[in-house]
Amino acid sequence: MPREKPKVSILMATYNRAAIIGPTIESILRQTFEDWELVIPDDGSIDNTEDVVKTFQENEPRIKYIKSPVNQGISRNYNMGFAITTGDYIAMIDDDDPWCDNAKLDKQVKFLDENPDYVGVGGGVIVVDETGKEQYRYFKAESDKEIRNYMLYSNPMANSTTMFRRAAAEQVGWYDESTRYSGDRDFWLKMGRIGKLRNVREYLTYYTMAGHNTSITKLRPHLKASLTIMKRYKQDYPHYWSALALNRGQYVYAFLPEAVRRRVHKLLARLKRLIVK
């Protein structure tokens, strides 16, 4: 039975995902680790996302749902959810990216319990299309030293694979609400300032590459935000100038017509994984 205060809070931000949120919640219910709560902050959905979540709540008291009256942006929506979490550890999960390892939480709780100098842990990703067909797999940089080497090139931690210490997140001030896009990248750059990071060599989540991804539909503001964010940390991590060149090149690419970008997005995303971890 879960404790009154759970060991792990799972945070799943959502917005207009009624059609796809169900399988992601089901992947949480299959976890072998049971001492959790699921907090779902809804950024003002206008579809029936709330109804879908309530069907799960009827049989699962560990699910908490909170809805913003307006669409306020991902960083503010995350912070709205963080505010009602109570767990010592927080696991992130995107509403369209189910976990693929039923022991994910067990493994990450054990890692953080045994390694107090680490503030966060992530893992590998299986990329699938909208039908669930696998496209490719990848691991991020594994050791803390490797992660720091790639820190400025791109986000070193795949969001739905991550678990981190609540106390560390409080110390860095959670998500920066002045950043509507790429808030997770800023968050992990802050976390890396105060502790060590690790990515295990195991596949923990699916990543659904489809037309609804904001990495496709909102590419330009995402990349512009990333350029602003990385400049904040130029003194904290190596390879600033080469990372800046790469990020500027990506920003230029964002000005291509969306129809062109959609055709080559999967290929370029896979190529990036081979170059930048």
Query: Tell me, what CATH number does 120's domain have?
Result: 3.90.550.10
Reported confidence tier of residue 168, pLDDT bands at 50, 70, 90? very high
> 202 lies in a domain?
yes
Domain assignment of residue 40, given as a range:
8-275
| Per-residue model confidence (pLDDT) at position 247 | 78
Are the CB atoms for 137 and 201 separated by under 8 Å?
A: no
> 2 lies in a domain?
no
pLDDT at 243 over 90: no
Rounded Cα distance, 262 and 256, in Å: 10
Are the CB atoms for 147 and 188 separated by under 8 Å?
A: no
> 3 lies in a domain?
no
Interval 174-224: pLDDT, tens: 999 988 778 899 999 999 999 999 999 999 999 998 755 555 556 677 778
Per DSSP, what are the bridge partners of residue 121?
A: 163, 198
Q: In the chain, pLDDT over 70 holds for what percent of residues? A: 86
> 140 lies in a domain?
yes
Interval 51-70: pLDDT, tens: 999 999 999 999 999 999 99
| Per-residue model confidence (pLDDT) at position 262 | 59
In the chain, the number of structural domains is 1
Q: What is the mean pLDDT of the chain?
A: 89
Rounded Cα distance, 42 and 17, in Å: 10
| Per-residue model confidence (pLDDT) at position 274 | 56
Residue 53, CA distances (Å) to 4, 24, 30, 35, 85 in order: 22, 11, 16, 20, 17
Among 230, 249, 248, residue whose Cα is nearest residue 239 = 230
Phi, psi of 206 (to 5 degrees): -90, 150
Are the CB atoms for 183 and 176 separated by under 8 Å?
A: yes
Tell me the mean pLDDT in the region 119-136.
94
Please name the helix (run of DSSP H) or strand (run of DSSP E) that holds residue 232, with its range, or none: helix 219-232
Tell me the mean pLDDT in the region 1-21.
88
